[in-house]
Chains A and B, each alone.
Chain A
Amino acid sequence: MLAIVDYKAGNLTSVALALTALGADATVTDDPAKVRAASRIIFPGVGAAASAMANLKRLGLDDAIRDVCARDVPFLGICLGMQILFSRSEEDGGTDLLGILPGRVLRFPDGTGDKIPQIGWNDIESRDPRGFLATGEEYYFVHSYYVEKNPCTVASAHYAGTGFTAAVRRGNLFAVQFHPEKSGRLGLEMMRKFLDAPVKGDCRNA
């Protein structure tokens, strides 16, 4: 089962419509048991880190996400769904996140002449050995906070004088700052690659 995790952080319509366009049969769920039972997981998210973390905890999804990531179930985080995997965010006066990946979430600096939030298409530089992404491809970003570059960074981009993480990968876990579901043909192709990727290692379904 392909699960889209619904933790009341933004709108899932676009992600669901993109999967429909790809012919994928996805289940939208806020049930930790269903998330644990899924064979592939999409973890979207838009909005503020603190309320998203509070929702995850309230729904019991925080431990479910840690669990599936520990078992290396194929996982695609999108936007806030990538940021929230890290340790801590500057947002909302400092927010502890899921701590699945090491690194911090910081706010783009003011005063660079670049507007915040970053809204629009930016090009990425990829060192993604799985080939989900290629250097020079343009994707649609909407965010004020970014994940600093870290050992899991497989693609980066540049804004407000800052090189930031556009994508991370660790085993079968893959996550992107941009919105593949809103990035036209290239975004759909990236989602297709995620859906079709062979599972690496010995990840066990619950």
Chain B
Amino acid sequence: MLKKRIIPCLDVRNGRVTKGVKFKNNIDLGDPVEMAVRYSGGGADELVFYDITASAEHRPIDIGMVAAVAEAIRIPFAVGGGISSCADMERVILAGAEKISVNSLAVRNPAIIAEGAREFGRQCIVLGMDPVKSAKPSCPSGYEITTRGFREFTGMDALEWAKRAADEGAGEIVVNSVDADGTRQGFELEITRKIAEAVGVPVVASGGAGKPEHFNTVFRQAKADAAIVAGMIHTGEWTIAQIKDEMHAAGIPVRMTW
């Protein structure tokens, strides 16, 4: 039986892993390669890295870091941030990453999803999206897509965008709730479930995890295939093993040996 995945997310700023609330108040957490090794040895099923300053600084993603991570760990990882073309995607893949996450780029240029899927296979192309609760008439699902680290509102409906991205060829969709991000009050269940029920590709819940029970809830109630964990393990307050023990005890299929 396929297991529900726990995926630590590492936000990299100037070569260091940082964590902030709603993209603000960033604090230094450590070296990305060291943290990748620690999490991979501690039960992570995959990892995701976001080079969060690459786009703002108009520079490509840090390929040296991608290669160093690929050399150090033997589990799959995705990389996002600072990707602006298929050529950028190719560099990341050749450096050893399995997946590329596109977010603002795909909103500006949805064709990049199909291009990437055609070039590298749809399993390589992850659509990241940052929905926020919205009452705009253009957003009937009740959620609007934001871009550029929650800074811009697009007026696009989150559910419609998820369906379109899956049709274009995205192999996975990460639903990162702006409202829940950094709150540690639990995942945003409503839009995650709506998307998980509407698309035929795996959906990854992101934002808001604060304790192990939150994962049981998102897998049971929102039908997520995987979930992102960040702050609650980065601070050392919780471990991946504790999350997985809780899931295992609740009867959720989860990888328990590593």
Contact = CB atoms under 8 A, between A and B. Distances in A.
Q: Tell whether A and B belong to one assembly.
A: yes
Interface of A: 10-11, 13-14, 17-18, 20-21, 46-48, 110, 114-123, 138, 140-143, 158-159, 179, 181-188
Contacts of A120: 2-5, 45, 202, 225-226
B96 A17 contact: yes
B27 interface: no
Interface string B55-75: 000000000000000110011
Contacts of B226: 120
B1 A13 contact: no
Interface centre among A18, A21, A115, A116 (most CB of B within 10 A): A115
A179 B76 CA distance: 10
18 contacts: A13-B70, A47-B121, A48-B121, A115-B225, A116-B200, A118-B2, A119-B225, A120-B3, A121-B2, A121-B45, A123-B1, A140-B76, A142-B76, A142-B98, A142-B123, A158-B1, A182-B76, A184-B40
A158 B3 CA distance: 11
Interface residues of B, number: 32
B35 interface: no
Given A21-B74, A140-B76, A121 B3 contact: yes
Interface of B: 1-5, 40, 45, 70-71, 74-76, 93-96, 98, 120-123, 171-172, 200-203, 225-226, 255, 257-258
Nearest to B76: A182
B70 A114 contact: no
3 residue pairs, one from A and one from B, having the closest CB atoms: A13-B96, A121-B3, A115-B202
A122 B98 contact: no
A119 B123 contact: yes
B2 A114 contact: yes
B39 to A, nearest CB: 12
A117 B123 contact: yes
Contacts of A13: 70, 93-96
Given A110-B200, A119-B171, A122-B3, A188 B70 contact: no
A184 B76 CA distance: 9
A188 B202 contact: no
Contact of B171 (A21, A117, A188): A117
Given A120-B45, A121-B45, A185 B74 contact: yes
